[in-house]
Structures are given as structure tokens and as C-alpha cells.
Chains A and B, each alone.
Chain A
Amino acid sequence: MKISLGPVPLNWGKEKLLSFYGHVADSKVSNVYLGEVTCPKRESSIDDLMPIIDMLREKGKKVYISSYALTFDGLERGNIEALLEASDGLEINNLAFLSIKTEKELVAGPFLNVYNWRAARYLSRFGIKKVVIPWEVGRKSIEDIVEKSDLNIEVVAHGHLPVALSRECYTVRSLSSLEVSCQEAGISRSNCDKECFQHPEGFFLKAISGELVFKINGPQVFSAKVHCLIEHMDYLKRLKVESIRIESQLEEDIDEVINIYREVLDNRLNEKKAGGRLKALCSDDLCNGFFLGKPGWEYQ
């Protein structure tokens, strides 16, 4: 089973991205998804990304370009086509990007909402070879999709989960204490002040009852807890899941997270011990409820 690294969802900027992918290049990851999924305002330039793509491919990594999840007319296609030329494949997160003509490998990203094997099989008509299962889909359904779809399946195994996406920028809303929508306040993607640039890691929301529930990242909402399937690696391996995905969220320790997963997959570390090491690395609590068909934030 291979390890993939999801696209960076946070607004890190050039320096941090370079340092992050420097760690990644020397890590034991096989596939790297690169590109902007969350907000077009944050898109890195071709000049910033090309050297990263080259570096990763030189180290033997397969590089996929990820599309936006939410897109409008006048298609904000950004730099996708140019980046795709230099890469190995395209992760489609909105059906609009299915119309891009390419010979490269196509992947159905998690935002295409493949919840059953028939939906996966349907997408294979368009040349899709791999499907990333949305995190909300439970174990029983993942099993069914792997067995019946005849496609390569990737399961999201580690990271804060993007549990909602909006056109509204929740960072702007929070910082300006807006009680109206961005649109009503006259703020749009074309004139926003990029307030999320001041908060590249996002920030937490606490319920009145005290629990950390969500984490705000621009127009995206993360789970406050870190989804972690380390204790189910053996199960996913036996299931013949092609790859697991680790979300690109820890800048410094990403290679250590990858190492832990690799060691477990290679039977060099037991799942329980690995869980302990991951817990120590992440400052936030772990959860795995979605996978077990329970509330997403539970951990069992």
C-alpha cells in the first residue's frame, strides 16, 4: 500500500511551501497532490510550483495536480493546465474539470462525492483510474467500493478533515466580527483583503459547552480533531486499498508522520504504539468516528 500526500489546504505562502516540500521530497511518500483546492485567492504562481514539481519528480514521487472543489463560470482554472503538463496526473474535485483534455492519469478527488461503487464505476467511463473516498463514507461502504468498482481506491487516513466549504470567507467574517454575509458586506473573492494570509494555520472555534469543534481556514471548515486511521492500517491493507492519504497540515513533522505510517504498513511498528507516537506529534485530539460509522469526532 502506498502513501499519498494531499494538497496543502492552508495558506502557507511561498517560503513555507518550499520548506514543507523539502521535507516531503526526502520522505517515504509515493504520491504528492499539489495545487489549490480551497480558494483561488491563494493560488501559488507557476514559477513557485514548477521547481517543487521538478524536485519531487526527481526524487521519484508521482505528482498530481488538484483542482478547485468549488468553481464558477468563467472557470477559475488557474494554472492547472500548465502545471499538468509537467506532472503525472490530475485530481478532479469538481466535474467542470473533467473537460480538460489530457493523456495524464485522472483521479476523482474527495469532493466528487463517490459514496458507492456504482458512482465510482460510472466515473471510470471518463478515464478516471483512481477514486479518493470522501471521509464521511464508512468502513463497510469503502469495502464494497474497493471490491466492486475495479478502480484504485485511496482512503484519507490522517489530518484535520475539511468538513465544509463555502463561498463565504469565514476568516474574514470572524476577524471583522461580521454578522452579515461577505456578499452583504461587499466583500468578494475579487476584493478580499486576504486576511487568511495573517493566519496561515487557521483558528479554532469552541462550543459554548467548551469543546473545540471546528477550525476555520478561509472559506473552509476543518474538524478540530485530527482524523487518524493508524489503527486500521492492517485492515485497509488486507482490503487492497491502493493508497492512504495523509493531509498536508503539519509543516515540520510531516516526514515523521509519514514514517510512522510507513513503518506500520511495513509491519515494523505495531498500530497501538504508532497511535501513541502520532498523538504525541499532534497537539490536537484524534478522531476516527466517520470510518466506524459513528459521529466523526469520536475516537475508538
Chain B
Amino acid sequence: MSNVLELVRTSQLKTGLPEINPGDTVRVHVRIVEGSKERVQVFEGTVIRTRKSGVDQSVTVRRLSGQIGVERTFLVNSPRIDKFDVVRRGDVRRAALYYLRKRTGKSARIKEKRTPQLASKA
């Protein structure tokens, strides 16, 4: 009977999502409704955490806006999210990069992951 539950869950999943891992730099295209108008805003930053899989999958993206760190958590399957672009793959050893919160500048850099596939792309 629980396949009914799965049906409800899977019916909401998006397809064709890129693989997103902590350390990656992503551009999140967010649909924003202002009155009757709708526009797409891009939020670019480093993925510091990914959570769960399935309907409630989320990613937390951190960026520096001027001197101020801004973190936004996006529900991956939300209809408000237009798409994700992975700009850069990061090579990190942790699942959650909270240490970045205390760092700025040079110490907050993340190594780029070198894979043959991506190298050809870039």
C-alpha cells in the first residue's frame, strides 16, 4: 500500500537535475513573483550542504554579498526553482562545509575537482 505514498512523492520529482555536491559552485535560477509579474533571479554561490533525496531534497548555497555572507537553502524540487547550473566542481573532504562561514578571501577557496569529462567541457 505504501506504493501510493511513493507515487505521491515521485510524481513531484523533477527530472534531469544535475548532480550537485558540496563544494560545487552553482547558479540557481529562482522564479520570483512580484505582483503579477514573474521574473527569474540568479543566485550564484558555493554549495555548503546538500540534504536528503526525494521530495524534500535541498541544497544550501553560500555567497558573499559585499562583505556579508548570505546563505540560502533551496528545495531542489520546488516549482519556484527554474534550474541549476553547475559552474564549477569543488574538491572537498567534508559533507557540510560550515567551516567556510568563518573564512573569507584566500582561506575560503575551494580546490577544483579535476575530472577528464569536465576538463573537456571547460
A and B: bona fide binding partners: no
Binding site for A on B (CB under 8 A): none
Binding site for B on A (CB under 8 A): none
